[in-house]
Structure 1
Amino acid sequence: MKRKFLSLLAFVAVAVVTTSCGEKKNETKGEDAKTEKKITSEAVKYKVDTANTVVTWKGSKVIGGSHNGTMNVSKGTFAMKEGKLESGSFIIDINSLTVLDIPADDNGNASLKKHLLSSDFFDAKNNGAAAFSITGVNEKEGKTMIEGNLTLKGVKKNISFPAKVSVEGNKAMIVSEVFTINRTDFGMKYGSSSFTDTFKDKAISDDVELSVSVVATK
């Protein structure tokens, strides 16, 4: 009986570990910045349509609870060569950050936005813009993988994510899958249990989910 009980405990322990350590969405580790790709003379240039381009974000607590929202892209260009993405870059307006999971007229919305824009997180006063520049594009397991330098809060790291790239007439689109970056790679250590003794029920996950939807025209 005792042996069966211990076996049951072992099974439960394995199940808990497996559940809590599930695969993260397209996790990308921030690496040293790489050489950014240049636009060649043969490539077709596109200008980002900022009104129809958006970056979405989602941050979570280690144990339960999350917030999500968007940020705007203020400008950008990219180039296509023979129907494939060659190079490009765009600027993200950090001050355009919105919170979508709390009603806009709720005091909690303004409070959270203010905290996210503070030096604890994005430090928008001193780093009001983030930038992404493509360093490579390749096919992996049937997906287009875009690699580029992300400059956030004054820190430049190379990241990669899967995306669908398409062209329709004079319009080109880049729509990424949801991918994950580690915010502490960019100096955002507030509430991280990796660097402080924050209790798990109050700790904020180091991982932030992002996705981008870029529309551009010739």
Structure 2
Amino acid sequence: MTIEIPGYRPGTYVIDPAHSEVGFTVRHMMISKVKGAFHVIEGTIVAPENPLEAKVTAKADVASINTKDEGRDQHLRSADFFDAENHPTIEFVSTGVREQDGEFLVDGDLTIKGITKPVTFTVEFGGFGVDPWGNYKAGATGSTKIDREEFGLTWNAALETGGVLVGKDVTITIDLQGALQA
């Protein structure tokens, strides 16, 4: 099955780190949510004639984590959480693309802290366009939910009022923009 996407051009798109980000949201103290982000350092989208045969790779820099609280960010970089010294990147490699009920789903392997698990991102295409310098660009946003403990991110603290400091479920959102290579 081949699908039509307006503006779609086959080729290899190199992800632009200045216009891409990996964001996350997690429950804090069971009463609110904390958001943070990592810088995307590299990636590609290989787009063949049939978009459902596309391949995506992306890599984010763990040390770049930013939750707007430097103390928390230092703790997240430590061995209690991401262990940035021994696991400097978070990586995603797609294993398939499919269309289901009008949505695009990208299946793949997510590696965090040296642990690889299958995930599925629900993807929204932002579209295609030419920048002022003549570069053909593509943009997309994908989101998924993971259990952080399955990736070895198990640190937590019990609260006096019951419950825990950090929730297990984490929503990950990847915003990517790539440039078609000549």
Interval containing the TM-score (normalised by the shorter chain): 0.7 to 0.9
- Counterpart in the other structure of 1:157: 117
Q: Is 2:137 the counterpart of 1:176? A: no
Cα deviations by residue, 1:36-75 (Å, 9 ceiling, x for unpaired): xxxxxxx511111110001111121352133212111101
Structure 2 residue matching 1:213: 3-state secondary structure? strand
- Counterpart in the other structure of 2:15: 48
Structure 1 residue matching 2:153: 3-state secondary structure? coil
> 1: CA distance between counterparts of 2:80 and 2:14?
33
Q: Is 2:158 the counterpart of 1:210? A: no
- Counterpart in the other structure of 1:76: 43
Question: Structure 2: which 5+ runs fail to align?
Answer: 1-9, 131-135
Q: Tell me the TM-score normalized by structure 1.
A: 0.69
Question: Structure 1: which 5+ runs fail to align?
Answer: 1-42, 101-108, 193-197
Alignment equivalent of 1:189, drawn from 141, 144, 154? 154
> 2: CA distance between counterparts of 1:46 and 1:63?
40
Deviation (angstroms), 1:202: 3.2
- Counterpart in the other structure of 2:78: 118
1:79-94 equivalences under 5 Å are: 79-82=46-49, 84=51, 86-94=54-62
Percent of residue pairs bearing the same amino acid type: 26
Give the counterpart letter for 1:119 in structure 2.
A
- Counterpart in the other structure of 2:107: 147
> 2: CA distance between counterparts of 1:123 and 1:185?
15
- Counterpart in the other structure of 2:96: 136
Cα deviations by residue, 1:116-154 (Å, 9 ceiling, x for unpaired): 111111111111111100101001111000111111100
Q: Tell me the TM-score normalized by structure 2.
A: 0.82
RMSD of aligned Cα (Å): 1.7
**Alignment coverage as a number of residue pairs:** 162
Give the counterpart letter for 1:136 in structure 2.
G
Choose between structure 1 and 2: higher helix proportion. 1
Give the counterpart letter for 2:38 in structure 1.
M
Structure 1 residue matching 2:124: 3-state secondary structure? strand
